[in-house]
């Protein structure tokens, strides 16, 4: 690297500050000495795992029951999980998980975050303890450059200290960094630094004082899927009829270097491993062994290109989105599956409890916000939740068919969830078996009532068919509809005559043929009379039908309006013909008929909408 990238410069500045304050840090806490510290950093994925093996000795007279772990704040803010296992004695044996909490010892630099592990038994003078500390960091391998083209490999940067940062002196220490195996652009070359194949080693370093810190940076190729879920909603619904239904909604992005420039699908399809080396195509979900009814869909529909394998230990689902994901690209999808109730819901002390893993079954995924919803059966009471790490907890109610009071829903929310959070959690609740039969009873009662209604109906109605009131009512209604259709046909013809009459007026202004215009008017008169004669019996029978009370006023209105329209049309027709014979100027004719024109147009509209209304019954 010719000029240090801005990212590195920024980090270097932060580290400098840190070193200044470390120099003034107080000497060792208690009298602990780390006789050996071996750190193994795994950088093969985008989630960084650091395993630190420590051999600790108490060199002082006082027994010690707390062990402090220190991290620079820049690192601590990305710490997603920390676990410490302790074993007392010279040789390693069975280890116990130690409780860990954040502490603020006095007189330490503010740039450091401290955790304290409580030893299961105080460490006596001259005694030795083995500690294995697992720390998992997110957002700690940064793409550099931040944007790459389709064909470029993704390069990333990781920073740490070549020496173990600890409030205790360290006698011997090593650091070993496992890389994914591609190109290594550069790394900080301290004495005793060595790169071989995909392993970068620092040390051994001996006899370092407390708070020793030497910043190191490694810049290397990493094309493994940087699968980051912006949000996952995981719903676990318990049905005491034998099923636990899981539905998971994902919004996943490629969290690596952003794709710059055009994406060429043709390039990608011809040589996906060269022309899309930084992208990823699938994700693997490891489901419980007896998962069934598995589906995978996105907003378009079910996706059948997913693959499924299963054996007695697991069911593996390969999820393949519709397009490869490049840096910055996103996709949303849902997977769902059923699990046997007896594998996950148990009873104890008259209560039931769900015991199931918390996180997503997707491999190596970072979930920036995970919401787990446990939907309990309707009528569940005394709900208690126990999760092995802090979560934000709330409750909701979910309604589905046949629910009356709704189902209680436990809502758990946690940021920055990694595979290490895939631990078991429990939801305890009290549930009365009677409640289980409420919904089936509702169904049975419902069917019974329906059945009874059918019997009653058959007896009263079908057996006396043609004289039954409902049959008659239906027959009458059919008749009304047929009359309405005929009335409609009459009015349609009438409107056609209107149109024809209008057309003769237009012809008149062109040809000046007054005689044919008058003849047309006479013909129209005759047609209107004819239509009126046709309409009369239809109106009479409609009016006499008892079921027409709703439609009748509208039909009546239609008749009046149409008659009005006829009158207006005729008046206008006479006016125009008359003006023409008197040889009035065009403008004067326009003035005389303007008002009539408006009335005709308004009436025509009313007639048409009434016709539409009655046609819709």
Site residues, ligand NAG (CB under 6 A) = 293, 295, 297, 301-302, 355, 424, 426
Quote the least distance from Cβ 375 to ligand NAG, whole Å: 18
Q: Two tokens at 616?
A: 């819709």
CB of 277 or CB of 387, closer to ligand NAG: 387
CB of 301 or CB of 390, closer to ligand NAG: 301
CB of 205 or CB of 358, closer to ligand NAG: 358
CB of 25 or CB of 387, closer to ligand NAG: 387
Q: Which residues pair with 228 in a beta bridge?
A: 253, 366
SS3 68: strand
CB of 73 or CB of 386, closer to ligand NAG: 386
d(CA 330, CA 332) in angstroms, rounded, equals 7
Task: Assess contact for 330 and 230: CB atoms under 8 A.
Answer: yes
In degrees and rounded to multiples of 5, residue 109 shows phi and psi of -65, 140
Quote the least distance from Cβ 348 to ligand NAG, whole Å: 8
d(CA 402, CA 409) in angstroms, rounded, equals 17
CB of 342 or CB of 541, closer to ligand NAG: 342
Quote the least distance from Cβ 304 to ligand NAG, whole Å: 9
d(CA 49, CA 562) in angstroms, rounded, equals 86
Quote the least distance from Cβ 240 to ligand NAG, whole Å: 19
Quote the least distance from Cβ 101 to ligand NAG, whole Å: 23
Alpha-carbon torsion (15, 20, 25, 28), positive or negative: positive
Quote the least distance from Cβ 197 to ligand NAG, whole Å: 38
d(CA 440, CA 264) in angstroms, rounded, equals 56
d(CA 292, CA 310) in angstroms, rounded, equals 11
d(CA 209, CA 207) in angstroms, rounded, equals 7
Which of left, alpha, beta for 516 (phi over 0: left; psi -120 to 50: alpha)? alpha
Which DSSP symbol is given to 90?
S
d(CA 49, CA 516) in angstroms, rounded, equals 100
Q: Which residues pair with 48 in a beta bridge?
A: 137
CB of 352 or CB of 572, closer to ligand NAG: 352
CB of 354 or CB of 370, closer to ligand NAG: 354
Q: What is the 3-state secondary structure (H, E, C) of 375-397?
A: ECCCCCEEEEEECCCCCEEEEEE
Quote the least distance from Cβ 32 to ligand NAG, whole Å: 34
Alpha-carbon torsion (556, 558, 564, 566), positive or negative: negative
Quote the least distance from Cβ 385 to ligand NAG, whole Å: 12
Task: Assess contact for 156 and 48: CB atoms under 8 A.
Answer: no
Quote the least distance from Cβ 308 to ligand NAG, whole Å: 12
CB of 158 or CB of 425, closer to ligand NAG: 425
With tokens 């129209």, the residue in question is 524
Quote the least distance from Cβ 343 to ligand NAG, whole Å: 8
Q: Which residue, among 131, 117, 148, has the nearest Cα to 54 in the 3D structure? A: 131
Whether the ω angle into residue 145 lies within 30 degrees of 0, i.e. cis, is yes
CB of 107 or CB of 301, closer to ligand NAG: 301
Quote the least distance from Cβ 355 to ligand NAG, whole Å: 4
Other C-beta atoms closer than 10 Å to the C-beta of 279 total 23
Q: Which residue, among 316, 317, 319, 346, has the nearest Cα to 332 in the 3D structure? A: 319
d(CA 590, CA 613) in angstroms, rounded, equals 34
How is 59-90 classified by DSSP, letter by letter?
-SSS-EEEEEEEEEHHHHTTEEEEEEEEEESS
Quote the least distance from Cβ 388 to ligand NAG, whole Å: 10
Which DSSP symbol is given to 312?
S
SS3 content of the chain, % helix, strand, coil (to 5): 35, 35, 30
CB of 355 or CB of 476, closer to ligand NAG: 355
Q: Which residue, among 232, 229, 230, has the nearest Cα to 249 in the 3D structure? A: 232
CB of 37 or CB of 356, closer to ligand NAG: 356
Quote the least distance from Cβ 301 to ligand NAG, whole Å: 5
CB of 345 or CB of 569, closer to ligand NAG: 345
CB of 301 or CB of 546, closer to ligand NAG: 301
Residues sharing a CB contact under 8 Å with residue 127, sequence separation 6 or more, in sequence order: 57, 58, 88
CB of 35 or CB of 332, closer to ligand NAG: 332
- How, if at all, do strands 307-310 and 100-103 pair? unpaired
Task: Assess contact for 245 and 338: CB atoms under 8 A.
Answer: yes
Quote the least distance from Cβ 100 to ligand NAG, whole Å: 21
Quote the least distance from Cβ 297 to ligand NAG, whole Å: 6
In degrees and rounded to multiples of 5, residue 586 shows phi and psi of -50, -45
Whether the ω angle into residue 153 lies within 30 degrees of 0, i.e. cis, is no
């Amino acid at each position: 690297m010719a000029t240090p990238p801005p990212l590195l410069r920024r980090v270097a500045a932060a580290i400098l500050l840190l070193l200044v304050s470390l120099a003034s840090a107080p000497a060792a806490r208690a009298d602990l000495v780390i006789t050996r510290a071996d750190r193994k950093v795994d950088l093969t994925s985008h989630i960084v795992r650091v395993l630190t093996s420590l051999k600790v000795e108490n060199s002082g007279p006082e027994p010690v029951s707390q062990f402090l772990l220190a991290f620079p704040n820049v690192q601590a803010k990305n710490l997603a999980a920390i676990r410490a296992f302790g074993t007392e004695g010279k040789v390693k044996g069975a280890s116990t998980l130690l409780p860990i909490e954040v502490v603020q010892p006095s007189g330490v630099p503010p740039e450091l975050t401290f955790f304290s592990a409580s030893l299961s038994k105080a460490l006596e003078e001259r005694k030795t303890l083995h500690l294995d500390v697992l720390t998992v960091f997110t957002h700690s391998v940064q793409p550099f450059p931040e944007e790459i083209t389709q064909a470029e490999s993704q390069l990333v940067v990781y920073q740490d200290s070549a020496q173990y940062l600890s409030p205790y002196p360290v006698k011997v220490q090593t650091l070993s960094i496992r890389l994914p195996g591609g190109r290594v652009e550069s790394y900080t070359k301290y004495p005793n630094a060595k790169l071989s194949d995909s392993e970068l080693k620092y040390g051994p370093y001996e006899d370092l004082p407390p708070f020793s810190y030497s910043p190191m940076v490694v810049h290397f190729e990493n094309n493994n899927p940087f699968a980051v879920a912006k949000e996952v909603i995981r719903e676990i619904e318990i049905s005491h009829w034998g099923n636990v239904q899981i539905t998971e909604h994902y919004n996943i992005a490629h969290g690596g270097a952003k794709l710059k420039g055009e994406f060429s699908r043709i390039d990608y399809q011809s040589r996906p491993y060269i022309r899309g080396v930084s992208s990823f195509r699938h994700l693997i979900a490891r489901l419980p062994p007896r998962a069934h009814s598995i589906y995978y869909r996105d907003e378009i529909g079910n996706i059948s290109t997913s693959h499924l394998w299963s054996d007695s230990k697991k069911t593996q689902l390969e999820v393949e989105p519709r397009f490869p994901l490049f840096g910055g690209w996103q996709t949303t999808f849902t997977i769902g599956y059923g699990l046997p109730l007896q594998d996950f819901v148990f009873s104890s002390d008259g209560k039931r409890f769900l015991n199931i893993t918390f996180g997503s079954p997707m491999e190596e995924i970072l979930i920036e916000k995970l919401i787990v919803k446990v939907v309990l059966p309707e009528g569940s009471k005394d709900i208690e939740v126990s999760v092995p790490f802090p979560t934000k907890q709330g409750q909701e109610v979910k309604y589905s068919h046949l629910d009356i009071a709704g189902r209680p829903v436990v809502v758990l929310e946690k940021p920055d969830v990694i595979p290490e959070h895939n631990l078991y959690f429990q939801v305890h609740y009290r549930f009365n078996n009677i409640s289980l039969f409420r919904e089936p009873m509702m169904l049975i009662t419902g069917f019974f009532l329906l059945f009874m209604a059918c019997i009653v109906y058959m007896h009263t109605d079908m057996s006396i068919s043609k004289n039954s009131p409902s049959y008659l009512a239906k027959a009458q209604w059919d008749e009304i509809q047929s009359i309405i259709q005929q009335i409609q046909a009459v009015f349609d013809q009438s409107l056609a005559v209107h149109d024809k009459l209008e057309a003769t007026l237009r012809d008149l202004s062109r040809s000046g043929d007054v005689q044919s215009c008058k003849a047309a008017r006479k013909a129209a008169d005759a047609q209107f009379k004819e239509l009126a004669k046709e309409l009369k019996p239809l109106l009479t029978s409609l009016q006499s039908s008892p079921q027409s009370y709703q439609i009748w006023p509208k039909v009546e209105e239609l008749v009046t309006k149409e008659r009005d329209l006829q009158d207006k049309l005729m008046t206008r027709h006479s006016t125009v013909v008359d003006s023409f014979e008197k040889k009035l100027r065009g403008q004067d004719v326009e003035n005389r008929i303007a008002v009539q024109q408006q009335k005709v147009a308004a009436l025509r509209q009313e007639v048409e909408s009434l016709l539409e209304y009655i046609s819709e019954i």
